[in-house]
Structure 1
Amino acid sequence: MIAPVLPPLAEWESFYVIIGSSAAALTGLQFVVIALSADVKVGGEAEMQAFATPTIVHFCAVLLVAAIVSTPGQTA
């Protein structure tokens, strides 16, 4: 039998599944907010990009880490 690559993180699997699901949902909601606020002329495009881009990048980074850690071990 092959041992998992990340045995100390095996007990954290449910945590990473929950965090990954939350990050995916919040990323989707961010796109909804961007679409709904496109018609509002409160700020300029630069303000929207300054707010939206880092938020999406951070949520996607959390989603990527959660996906990598939650992936079951591969056998050779």
Structure 2
Amino acid sequence: MEADELASKIKEDVGAEYLCVKDLQELFRVGYSKARLMMNKLPYVRIGKRDAVLKSQLTAYVAEHGGITVEWPKRKR
């Protein structure tokens, strides 16, 4: 999926102003861990016990960067 298509999907699919980790999971069809790593790349705010990102900031980030690159942390042994 290209950045423009993804940005339009974000605008259409999600009605809320703020998106939490669970919303990212549903939007990108990923698990909790990957959605959490994605949230850490975005300019999010803490609302109570949840982290949330503005839908407009997510759209701008995806349009600017062409997606959200996720880097898994190295395993500690």
Task: Identify the TM-score tier after normalising by the shorter chain.
Answer: under 0.3
Query: What is the TM-score when the length of structure 1 is the normalising length?
Result: 0.27
Q: Which has the higher contact order (CA 8 A, sep 6+)?
A: 1
Q: Which is helix-richer, 1 or 2?
A: 1
TM-score where L is the length of structure 2: 0.27
Q: Which has the higher strand share?
A: 2
Whose radius of gyration is greater, 1 or 2?
A: 1
